[in-house]
């Protein structure tokens, strides 16, 4: 039987609970499709700070690099809010992305059919469903640019610098084009080229790369217009490719269009080797410390992140599709508190995990 090694970062808050349900689902999928996992637990975030003094211990990076892929719950919490920025749990996220070379973030925004009524957007706008893939550059831009404190006109000031190189833009553009080629063949590149010089370089580079993908329909959109269009007419989008900060904001907006941030998975990928890419998989929501330990968290975003792990890093597309189908089946009768509505059975974190396992057979 095939064995995959998986680094497991449970993290903080609800992280351990939602990861536990995901491992349960992955094990069931392995039983059905003929593979197993060897899990390697490691620390990151607030729990790592408490035990080691660092948000990202060097040992964690070593473990992750030695594994086939990485599953992450969530990090952060009020307990560590007073720490300096470089020692806060969120610094671990930036650090692990850079250390593992994870430059492409995939954030699918889709509506599972049983959840159509949960979207705040009118049903005539949503139509039969929503399925958008946002490809976000992850290791460049303003989050990794030069920053600091200074004075301006005799007053305290601060700065953060947006900087992209041509190779950084080109490689994420190719991820976007390849993704569009596998889907409906439409790619929208989002920038702010009417104002920002970094965005002008972005657009020039994307246009040059487009020559290698004549089968993909390319369009360009300013980020402010894209934010409006996601609400006005979301079905016009297939794949969106954009910068680090724009992708961070737009993917959160798209998550709420789809009904609940508790349903949105993500994949952070490095270089591909054939049909497999090393990646880190996590829900896009936070650690929700206010409900930690109560057994009421929604594990579906993390479970769906596990499905993405199977698809993109382990080349197990049948198992990935089966998990997505099992999630859809579970939602036909059961809901956690964040997506609950009358007529459905209200369940907790473990019960939802069990329901997905049952759907896998």
In a domain, 330, yes or no: yes
Query: Is the domain of 215 the same as that of 321?
Result: no
Q: Render pLDDT for 156-207 as a digit per residue (tens, 0 to 9).
A: 999 999 999 999 999 999 999 999 999 999 999 999 999 999 999 999 999 9
* Last-in-domain residue among 257, 274, 306: 257
Query: Is the domain of 271 the same as that of 294?
Result: yes
The answer, yes or no, to whether residue 146 has pLDDT greater than 90, is: yes
Query: Is the domain of 284 the same as that of 357?
Result: yes
Cα 303 to chain center, whole Å? Answer: 12
Find the helix or strand (DSSP H, E) in which 273 lies. strand 265-273
In a domain, 142, yes or no: yes
Alpha-carbon torsion 78, 84, 85, 90, what sign?
negative
Query: Is the domain of 150 the same as that of 249?
Result: yes
Query: Is the domain of 243 the same as that of 285?
Result: no
Segment 77-92 shows an average pLDDT of: 89
Q: Render pLDDT for 120-130 as a digit per residue (tens, 0 to 9).
A: 777 777 776 78
Decide if 27 is catalytic.
Answer: no
Cα 267 to chain center, whole Å? Answer: 5
Q: Render pLDDT for 210-243 as a digit per residue (tens, 0 to 9).
A: 999 999 999 999 999 999 999 899 999 999 999 9
Choose the catalytic residue: 27, 68, 131, 252. 252
**Tokens standing for residue 347:** 């369940």
Query: Is the domain of 250 the same as that of 147?
Result: yes
101 near 241, Cβ under 8 Å?
no
Choose the catalytic residue: 191, 238, 248, 338. 248
Q: Render pLDDT for 3-49 as a digit per residue (tens, 0 to 9).
A: 999 999 999 999 999 999 999 999 999 999 999 999 999 999 999 99
The DSSP secondary-structure symbol of 13 reads T
In a domain, 174, yes or no: yes
- The gap between the terminal CA atoms of the chain, to the nearest Å, is 19
Query: Is the domain of 240 the same as that of 342?
Result: no
* Last-in-domain residue among 257, 283, 298: 257
Decide if 143 is catalytic.
Answer: yes
Query: Is the domain of 248 the same as that of 270?
Result: no
CA atoms within 13 A on the CB side of 113: 9
Query: Is the domain of 72 the same as that of 56?
Result: yes
CATH number at residue 326: 3.40.718.10
Alpha-carbon torsion 290, 279, 43, 146, what sign?
negative
* Last-in-domain residue among 194, 227, 257: 257
Alpha-carbon torsion 215, 220, 224, 228, what sign?
negative
Q: Which runs of E-coded beta strand occur in 164-245? A: 186-191, 217-222, 239-242
**From the DSSP assignment, how many helices (H) and strands (E) are in the chain?**
12, 14
Choose the catalytic residue: 4, 164, 191, 192. 192
Q: 137 lies in which domain range?
A: 131-257
In a domain, 121, yes or no: no
pLDDT for the residue 114 = 79
Segment 51-63 shows an average pLDDT of: 97
**Tokens standing for residue 223:** 């980020």
DSSP-assigned states of every residue in 202-218: HHHHHHHHHTT-TTSEE
**Strand, coil or helix: 138:** coil
In a domain, 171, yes or no: yes
Find the helix or strand (DSSP H, E) in which 304 lies. helix 300-312
Decide if 248 is catalytic.
Answer: yes
pLDDT for the residue 133 = 95
Choose the catalytic residue: 4, 12, 103, 143. 143
231 exposure class (CB count in 10 Å sphere: 0-12, 13-18, 19+): middle
Q: How far apart, in whole angstroms, are the C-alpha atoms of residue 9 and residue 44?
A: 6
Count up the domains in the chain and report the number.
2
Find the helix or strand (DSSP H, E) in which 150 lies. strand 147-152
**Strand, coil or helix: 222:** strand
pLDDT for the residue 94 = 85
Q: How far apart, in whole angstroms, are the C-alpha atoms of residue 194 and residue 198?
A: 10
Cα 61 to chain center, whole Å? Answer: 19
Q: Render pLDDT for 239-287 as a digit per residue (tens, 0 to 9).
A: 999 999 999 999 888 877 776 778 889 999 998 765 678 999 999 889 9
55 near 44, Cβ under 8 Å?
yes
Q: Render pLDDT for 301-343 as a digit per residue (tens, 0 to 9).
A: 999 999 999 999 999 999 999 999 999 999 999 999 988 888 8
**Strand, coil or helix: 339:** helix
The DSSP secondary-structure symbol of 117 reads G
In a domain, 81, yes or no: yes
Share of the chain above pLDDT 90, in %: 80
In a domain, 111, yes or no: no
Query: Is the domain of 2 the same as that of 93?
Result: yes
pLDDT for the residue 274 = 59
In a domain, 112, yes or no: no
pLDDT for the residue 273 = 62
Task: Tell me which residue has tokens 């080229």.
Answer: 193
Query: Is the domain of 210 the same as that of 328?
Result: no
Query: Is the domain of 151 the same as that of 194?
Result: yes
pLDDT for the residue 120 = 74
Decide if 281 is catalytic.
Answer: no
């Amino acid at each position: 039987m095939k064995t995959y090694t998986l680094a497991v970062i449970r993290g903080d808050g609800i992280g351990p609970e939602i990861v536990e349900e995901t491992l349960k689902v992955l094990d069931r999928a392995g039983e059905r499709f003929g593979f197993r996992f060897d899990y390697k637990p490691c620390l990151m975030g607030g729990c790592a700070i408490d035990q080691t003094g660092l948000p990202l211990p060097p040992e964690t990076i070593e473990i992750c690099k030695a594994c086939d892929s990485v599953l992450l719950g969530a990090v952060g919490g009020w307990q560590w809010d007073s720490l300096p920025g470089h020692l806060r749990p969120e610094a671990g996220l930036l650090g692990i992305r850079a250390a593992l070379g994870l430059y492409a973030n995939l954030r699918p925004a889709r509506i599972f059919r049983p959840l159509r009524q949960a979207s705040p957007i009118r049903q005539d706008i949503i139509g039969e469903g929503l399925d958008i893939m946002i490809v976000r550059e992850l290791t460049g831009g303003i989050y990794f640019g030069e920053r600091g404190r200074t004075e301006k006109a005799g007053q305290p000031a601060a700065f953060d610098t947006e900087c992209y190189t041509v190779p950084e833009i080109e490689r994420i553009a190719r991820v976007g084009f390849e993704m569009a080629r596998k889907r409906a063949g439409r790619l929208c590149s989002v920038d702010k080229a009417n104002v920002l010089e970094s965005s002008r370089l972005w657009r020039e580079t994307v246009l040059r790369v487009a020559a290698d993908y004549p089968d993909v329909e390319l369009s360009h959109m300013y980020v402010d217009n894209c934010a409006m269009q996601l609400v006005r007419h979301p079905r016009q989008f297939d794949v969106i490719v954009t910068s680090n900060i724009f992708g961070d904001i737009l993917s959160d907006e798209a998550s709420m269009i789809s009904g609940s941030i508790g349903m949105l998975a993500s994949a952070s990928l490095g270089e591909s080797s054939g049909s497999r890419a090393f990646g880190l998989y996590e829900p896009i929501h936070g650690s929700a410390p206010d409900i930690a330990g109560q057994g009421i968290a929604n594990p579906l975003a993390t479970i769906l992140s596990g499905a993405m792990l199977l698809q993109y890093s382990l080349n197990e597309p049948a198992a990935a599709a089966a998990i997505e189908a099992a999630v859809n089946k579970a939602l036909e009768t059961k809901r956690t508190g964040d997506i609950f509505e009358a007529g459905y059975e209200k369940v907790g974190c473990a019960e939802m995990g069990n329901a997905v396992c049952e759907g896998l057979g």
